[in-house]
Structure 1
Amino acid sequence: MRLEPIAAPSLARRVLPIMAAILASFVIAALLAMVAGGDPLRVTGAILTGAFGSKFALLETLNRATPLIFTGLAVAVAFRAKLWNIGAEAQLYMGAVVAVLLGTGALALPAGVLLPLMGLCALLAGGLLLLVPALLKTRLGVDEVVTTLLFNFIFLLFVSYLLEGPLKDPMGMGWPKSARLIPEARLPRIVEGLRLHWGFGLALIAAVAVWIIDTRTTLGFEMRAVGQNAEAARFAGIPVTAVILKTALLSGGLAALAGFSEVAGLKGSLTLDLSPGFGYTGIVVAMLALLHPLGVVVAALFVAAISVGADAMSRAIGVPPYLAHILLATALLLVVLAILVTKFRLRRD
């Protein structure tokens, strides 16, 4: 038996295996819920109710999806060009640090000027942070998986130093957190009285913008060409090094916008637990979306719904919320297998 590539898989072959993989992951989660002593139907219903059962639940799901859209886009952009960015967590915190530096009163500007300036500076800072591993990869051949992963730990320690030193809030009663952003530096709420903010709208705009870049621009074509075969792209005259560096700037900037939106839209200040792993979860989101920018939005909503719904389910039924992590991990593994099924068929020699 051997695997034979499928030249032009049909729409059904591309979609049905992935839908079957997600359905199978829910079946496995239901079986685990039974082992944990819960009713599978009740567990599933509690997850759906907790994620979508009320206006508050729905908006909390959208809120949780916001940083995942940014980090998912960051990973999708980089992975499409075979730049293995595992450092979205560090880039997220870079965006948050920039938001605090500019938004706690350093600049006396109206909101219409300050907020775009903060977002732009966060984007540039995140891009420059990823540019270092990209340069090490292109100039010295250093594996970017190692460097970007190590940057996560290095930068988190740096943030810890900042929160215990230069950025520590003197009015914070000793807690390691930054001063709060001034009102002009806060993203407005989409719905008054609830936590959903315009960072979600910015995330949707970013997804559309990345899709346009990917499908309608020369840079998008070059990124896909480099990702498919860098040597062939170089032979065709594509500046591979320049494309990788541009990809790094875009990917790191998108991840940094997640930190900017969390601080300016939701938290109002920087703490060491700002992200519960949004940078790493962005890898899951990007893979579930098959690296498609618009698919990232759907995948982020799916992951956010599972996370928010599992918290509500745990409170309502008593089943451990770790079931959500198992569900996401199972879905990712099965989707990877489904991708293999969509691209290859078994042939008997």
Structure 2
Amino acid sequence: MRLEKRTQTSKLALMLAPIGAVVFTLLVSSLLVLWAGAPLGQTYGLLFKGGFGSVFALSETLTRAIPLILTGLAATVAFRARLFNIGAEGQLYAGALAAVAVGGLHGGEAFALAPALLFVLMLLAAALAGALLLLGPALLKARLGVDEVVTTLLLNFIMLLFVSLMLDGPMKDPTAMGWPQSVALLGELELSKLVPQTRIHTGLLWAIGLSVALWALLKYTVPGFDIRATGANAGAAAFAGVPVTRTVVLVALLSGGLAGFAGAIEVAGRTSYVTLDMSPGYGYTGIVIAMLAALNPLGVLAAGVFVAGVLVGADSMSRAVGVPTYIADVIVAASLISVLVATLLTQYRVVLRGKAA
């Protein structure tokens, strides 16, 4: 058995690959549900109902989806240029910390600015913090060939240690009774709610707008073409005149900036302050979302809502039928593996004994 490169890749197959991967994942997860002794139909019914079955459930899913969409976009733009950014988790925390530093430290009094201007500065500071955290590994890759997977991954742990230092030091909230958390943002800087008496906030509009903007950038602009060309073949792109190093720097700024922006939106829309458990792995899950979306910014919206619905629905499902909530993590992880295999099979065919199968 061997893999043979297909002469032509079907666009329909590329679109159906993520859907098929999700269906296959649910079938595989069914075995675990049955192994746990739970009724399969009821389990998946409760999973869907817990994530999408009511206004409250849908609002919780969309609230969870906001940072997932933004980190998914960060992974999408980086992976399109073959800059494998595994550090969105650290970049998210860097952005959240920068947001609080601008919009919450000393109550924002050090700036004495109008809330609208301070809000813009807060978002810019968050995006810049995330971008700078990725810029170093990107330059190391472009100039010295250093593997960015290792550097960005290790920077996650360095960033979390730095956040811990700041939460127990200069940015610690003196009213938190010793709990390691930062000072809170000014109330005027918090995002408004989209639906009363729910947690869904206007960060969803930012996520949708940035998805459309990134899609348009990649599809219709010269920098977008440079990004796609660099990802397809950096050597050929450089030979054709594409400024590869400059493109990698641009991608690093975009990807890190989006992850940092996710941190600011999470703080301004949901938590109001930074804690070490603010993110349950949004940066890592964003990679799964980007792959489920086939690195399409518009597909990230659907993938983000799907993954968020699975994570939210698993909580109510677990309470009702006794299946551990970790089934959600299995579904997300299996989805990633399945979509990678499905994408591979759209580009290669399996050949058995000299015949295409």
| Matching residue of 1:29 | 29
| Matching residue of 1:343 | 347
Are the aligned partners of 1:72 and 1:285 in contact in 2 as well (CA < 8 Å)?
Answer: yes
Letter in 1 for 2:85: N
Alignment of 1:166-245 (within 5 A): 166-245=170-249
Alignment of 1:43-82 (within 5 A): 43-82=43-82
Are the aligned partners of 2:70 and 2:259 in contact in 1 as well (CA < 8 Å)?
Answer: yes
**181-190 vs 66-75, which moves further:** 181-190
Aligned pair in 2 of structure 1 residues 217, 12: CA closer, same or farther (>3 Å)?
closer
Are the aligned partners of 1:110 and 1:184 in contact in 2 as well (CA < 8 Å)?
Answer: no
| Matching residue of 1:99 | 99
Q: Tell me by how many angstroms 1:2 deviates.
A: 4.3
Aligned pair in 2 of structure 1 residues 14, 140: CA closer, same or farther (>3 Å)?
closer
Q: How many residues are matched? A: 349
1: distance between equivalents of 2:219 and 2:17? 25
Q: CA RMSD in A?
A: 1.3
Unaligned runs of 5+ in 2: none
Alignment of 1:1-349 (within 5 A): 2-104=2-104, 105-106=107-108, 107-347=111-351, 348=354
1: distance between equivalents of 2:9 and 2:149? 31
**197-206 vs 339-348, which moves further:** 339-348
2: distance between equivalents of 1:327 and 1:194? 27
2: distance between equivalents of 1:161 and 1:292? 37
Q: Tell me by how many angstroms 1:344 deviates.
A: 2.0
1: distance between equivalents of 2:311 and 2:88? 19
Helix, strand or coil for the counterpart of 1:4? strand
Q: Tell me by how many angstroms 1:155 deviates.
A: 0.5
Dislocated runs of 4+, deviation >6 Å: none
Are the aligned partners of 1:114 and 1:184 in contact in 2 as well (CA < 8 Å)?
Answer: no
Q: Deviations over 1:225-275 (max 9, x none)?
A: 111111111111111111101100000000011100110110011111110
**6-15 vs 289-298, which moves further:** 6-15
2: distance between equivalents of 1:195 and 1:17? 33
Are the aligned partners of 1:115 and 1:187 in contact in 2 as well (CA < 8 Å)?
Answer: no
Q: Percent identity?
A: 54
Q: Tell me by how many angstroms 1:7 deviates.
A: 4.0
Are the aligned partners of 1:47 and 1:306 in contact in 2 as well (CA < 8 Å)?
Answer: yes
Letter in 1 for 2:31: L
1: distance between equivalents of 2:91 and 2:337? 26
Are the aligned partners of 2:18 and 2:294 in contact in 1 as well (CA < 8 Å)?
Answer: no
